[in-house]
Structure 1
Amino acid sequence: MINQNILSLKQSSTLLINEKVKELRVKGQEVSHFGFGQSPFPIHASIVAALRENAENNHYLPVAGLEKLREEIVLFLKKHQNIKTTKESVFIGPGSKELLYQSILIFDAEFLIPKGSWVSYIPQIQSKGGMYHVLETNFENDFKLTPEILDTFFKSEVVKKQTVLILNSPNNPSGAVYTKEEYKALAIACRKYNVVVFSDEIYSQINFSESYSPSISAYYPEKTIVFGGLSKVFSAGGYRLGYMILPNELQALQNVYKSLFSETFSCVSSPIQFAAIKAFEYHIDLQNYVATSAVILKNISEFIFKELSEVKIECTKSEGAFYMLIGFNLHKAAILKLGISSSFDLANYVLENYNFAMLPGVDFGFKKEELFFRIAFVDFNGEKVMNAYGHDKNIDTIFIKENAPNVFFGVEKIKTFIADLNS
């Protein structure tokens, strides 16, 4: 018999849409791919060189990770993320996604998921038969969690176990970034209700106004576990290397984590760990590279926000990462006339009829009738765009049309859909 918790899972929506778009493109269809969130920029040459230099290293490394790498991450976090920790508190795993999953397995808890959260949190909890609560957030606040929402939850729900809140900033799917003030207020609420926080900071340096994004661990250090990695900031999704940091009050879990790691993935690939040292050394060329990618993404997000807002599509204000939530709720009456009442059906309709791929909000904790969708604005050749930006620092509509045509014409397809709805 198959574990029923596993049997009920479906393939990750982000990976599924990516495969579907690839199939359509093989068939010759020009699909604008706003469904998959992978950094469009090439991995920096210094990291590739470090991987090449260590390609022959075939040794098993310590379960917690290479000591030199953990030391480098400690320095990186102190200097570039304002997080203080020790190498003993850092664990290396095959991607932050896996480390989050292992943490979900370890904690016998009820999990709190703000509406507008990454697609894999809930399925990971479901896979172990865990209990979760989706916390209601709203568009006016870019779907960010507030202390008032936590207060409402704890006053209305009988919680029988430890609670674990999963936060993500910069946020996938909204692009929102929590401010220091917002985190300070949330920290007070979390302390009041004795909440453990899993802080997913995988996009931290992809921030459109600062060199890094605030961390709730600065204000709630005793019970915040921080997660990060190579995939987004360093454009190295395929390298599959993440890290997590245990706070002081949870140091007793060190052996629990090591035991589970030793019985599952053992350790991350040796050459990848050595290459990651170069990434987390974060030399000035690499800092400039990441900063340039953030500037490009910021300008593309502003272009999309302006164009879609003009046709009465609700858009969250992206402040980091490479995502935006867009809503068609102001056009719901016309959409209902098409016989469509759910975000899943509308996503399929737009893909089949307008060759525009986006992910339905139902995958991110929204009710099926809420017509919100995540778009990832990375369907462009990052190397080409970066080179063009080096010659012309002005990213306007003409620049985007010439250098990121899939983004430009994708936006045009959505505008055409709206025009057709109202014709």
Structure 2
Amino acid sequence: MKFVVDQQVEDIEMPENLKLNTFLQEFHSNCPHPECSFGFYGFAFGQSPFPVPQLIQNTLIKNVEKGAYAPISGIPELRNAISKYNKYYFKMDVAPERIYVGPGTKELIFNLLEILHGTVILPTPAWLGYLPQIRFLKKNYHMLPTRANKKISPSDLRRLALRLQDRQKILILNNPNNPTGLLYDQLELEEIADVCREQNITVISDEIYALTTYDFSKFTSMGKIYPEGTFVTNGLSKSHAAGGYRLGYVIFPQHAADLKTQFKKILATEYTAVSTPIQHAAVAGFEISKEMDEYFVTTRNIHQIMGDYTYHALSAIDGVKATKPDATFYLLADFNAFATDLQKARISTSQKLSESLIVHPYHTAIVGGDSLVLERTDFSARIAYVDYDGASTYKNYLENKPQSNAEKLEFVKMNAPKVVAGIDMIADFFDKLKKDTLSNFDSKKSSMITSS
């Protein structure tokens, strides 16, 4: 029997992160060189390497017997904990009734895009998950390229909004940002919010990396700046290193009672409720405690040490520019200075650059610019600096916290040797690329002299 797939699904491509994962698995199993046995230097996957906090693990164990369906919007204990969590960390006074729990922020953003009418404004470069959702839902959308500083300009946002005819526009704002690691400060958010009020723009503020902000005093939620028009999403996956728990939440704007009714209907239709034991475990993660405070401080300090090293090591490669991360465990590396050399080597797109780096002898995995909603010929890439054993690194940090730059450098070399070696491989790749181009140029020049 032949099954017919709906055309809407046929038109959707596999998400770039899953395509990359498949490619890496095939490369690892097919590579004939003995050096392939170690795998690859993994700059492609954005997953916190640290253990799930013991407090969450213990609470999950205590609640494994809870097999009853939970309320659609989340158990009351969890919504109350999230409310207090937002007041404590983000200075937002949010009633539990404005909070809805879902199976990860990815699903919640999808649900919001389902119920919100209007054209989506997507700043680029962007996390690779937004565009497939927008396309799957057949939403109208427009890209909003960022400036040289890799942040959106309020004036550019206003110009784009004025061109759009929809009564409502939806801006997806990812702060702190994946893939750049950059943070929008309070003044920048206020300027964006002014345009949003003026142009009737609703904001979906994806703040999943909020608690990874290195200097946490600098983080401000868009929900605090523009509470009447912002949906804030956050969850366990990045700050709590619990992506596999699949638990996120959304804070609705003020005065959105009618919309909450529609949203609840969508949640009930699509997945009924989030796993009950996971919700009880999450309560421990969102409750205010000394243990969780110490966990957040330690993990973001380690992320900063790794980020500073990666930024300086990449920037030391002649021709490479990189964003200096304020948060997350990513940065954006710009290899466009090598565009001419890459094209001469028949590497014409960022996807081909990614493929060239993963093969022998480089074994280095990156996420290329085309996956980040950039032009296919933009040789930029997201670099995730988390290819190390998070459990041992966490323990080593607590036993001997590095203070000086020299101590931090030694900490990276001891705990993240694959991060160090992977950046060396990127340097080797571009060094060889330049030498090959120069060698070919000298050969042609010599041939022209001989023939004349």
Q: Normalized against structure 1, the TM-score is what? A: 0.96
Name the amino acid aligned to 1:357.
Answer: A
Report the RMSD for the aligned CA atoms in angstroms.
Answer: 1.4
Q: What's the counterpart of residue 86 of structure 2?
A: 77
Match of 1:99 among 108, 112, 115: 108
CA contact (8 A) 2:305 2:412 kept: no
Report the Cα distance in structure 2 between the residues aligned to 1:252 and 1:16, rounded to whole angstroms: 39
Q: What's the counterpart of residue 344 of structure 1?
A: 351
Q: What's the counterpart of residue 233 of structure 2?
A: 227
SS at match of 1:248: coil
Give CA deviations for 1:162-205 in whole Å, capped at 9, x if unaligned: 11000011111110111001001111011010100000011110
Match of 1:382 among 355, 369, 390: 390
Report the Cα distance in structure 2 between the residues aligned to 1:239 and 1:212, rounded to whole angstroms: 28
Residue 66 (structure 1) shift: 0.2
CA contact (8 A) 1:5 1:128 kept: no
Report the Cα distance in structure 1 between the residues aligned to 2:218 and 2:316, rounded to whole angstroms: 31
Q: What's the counterpart of residue 363 of structure 2?
A: 355
Report the Cα distance in structure 1 between the residues aligned to 2:80 and 2:164, rounded to whole angstroms: 42
Report the Cα distance in structure 1 between the residues aligned to 2:166 and 2:159, rounded to whole angstroms: 17
Listed as ranges, the matches of 1:72-151 within 5 Å are: 72-138=81-147, 140-141=148-149, 143-151=150-158
Instruction: Say whether 1:20 aligns with 2:23.
Output: yes
Match of 2:314 among 292, 299, 308: 308
Give CA deviations for 1:250-281 in whole Å, capped at 9, x if unaligned: 22111111111111110000000000000000
Q: What's the counterpart of residue 414 of structure 1?
A: 426
Name the amino acid aligned to 1:164.
Answer: I
Report the Cα distance in structure 1 between the residues aligned to 2:220 and 2:68, rounded to whole angstroms: 36
CA contact (8 A) 2:27 2:359 kept: no
Report the Cα distance in structure 1 between the residues aligned to 2:292 and 2:433, rounded to whole angstroms: 46
CA contact (8 A) 1:342 1:368 kept: yes
Instruction: Say whether 1:49 aligns with 2:50.
Output: no
Residue 375 (structure 1) shift: 1.1
Report the Cα distance in structure 2 between the residues aligned to 1:211 and 1:231, rounded to whole angstroms: 21
Residue 295 (structure 1) shift: 0.8
Match of 1:242 among 226, 243, 248: 248
Once structures 1 and 2 are overlaid, which stretch shifts more, 277-286 or 54-63? Answer: 277-286
Instruction: Say whether 1:396 aligns with 2:408.
Output: yes
Report the Cα distance in structure 2 between the residues aligned to 1:19 and 1:235, rounded to whole angstroms: 23
CA contact (8 A) 2:161 2:169 kept: no
The structure-2 alpha-carbon separation of the partners of 1:329 and 1:276, relative to structure 1 and needing over 3 Å to count, comes to: same
Give CA deviations for 1:279-306 in whole Å, capped at 9, x if unaligned: 0003111111111111111111111111
Report the Cα distance in structure 2 between the residues aligned to 1:274 and 1:18, rounded to whole angstroms: 32
Q: What's the counterpart of residue 33 of structure 2?
A: none
Name the amino acid aligned to 1:414.
Answer: I
Report the Cα distance in structure 1 between the residues aligned to 2:89 and 2:25, rounded to whole angstroms: 37
Give CA deviations for 1:300-322 in whole Å, capped at 9, x if unaligned: 11111111111121101111011
SS at match of 1:396: helix
Report the Cα distance in structure 2 between the residues aligned to 1:162 and 1:292, rounded to whole angstroms: 41
Residue 391 (structure 1) shift: 2.6
Report the Cα distance in structure 1 between the residues aligned to 2:289 and 2:70, rounded to whole angstroms: 25
Report the Cα distance in structure 2 between the residues aligned to 1:12 and 1:154, rounded to whole angstroms: 28
Q: What's the counterpart of residue 371 of structure 1?
A: 379
Q: Normalized against structure 2, the TM-score is what? A: 0.90
Residue 211 (structure 1) shift: 5.3
For structure 1, the 5+ residue unaligned runs are none
Q: What's the counterpart of residue 66 of structure 1?
A: 75
Residue 19 (structure 1) shift: 4.0
SS at match of 1:289: helix
Report the Cα distance in structure 1 between the residues aligned to 2:138 and 2:18, rounded to whole angstroms: 23
Report the Cα distance in structure 2 between the residues aligned to 1:11 and 1:249, rounded to whole angstroms: 38
The structure-2 alpha-carbon separation of the partners of 1:83 and 1:104, relative to structure 1 and needing over 3 Å to count, comes to: same
Give CA deviations for 1:210-231 in whole Å, capped at 9, x if unaligned: 1572111211110100000111
Once structures 1 and 2 are overlaid, which stretch shifts more, 80-89 or 190-199? Answer: 80-89
Once structures 1 and 2 are overlaid, which stretch shifts more, 47-56 or 297-306? Answer: 297-306
CA contact (8 A) 2:167 2:200 kept: no
CA contact (8 A) 1:32 1:406 kept: yes
Report the Cα distance in structure 2 between the residues aligned to 1:315 and 1:100, rounded to whole angstroms: 29
Report the Cα distance in structure 1 between the residues aligned to 2:203 and 2:352, rounded to whole angstroms: 34
Name the amino acid aligned to 1:55.
Answer: V
Report the Cα distance in structure 1 between the residues aligned to 2:19 and 2:232, rounded to whole angstroms: 28
Once structures 1 and 2 are overlaid, which stretch shifts more, 43-52 or 288-297? Answer: 288-297
Report the Cα distance in structure 1 between the residues aligned to 2:116 and 2:278, rounded to whole angstroms: 28
Q: How many residues align?
A: 420
For structure 2, the 5+ residue unaligned runs are 31-36, 436-452
Report the Cα distance in structure 1 between the residues aligned to 2:410 and 2:184, rounded to whole angstroms: 32
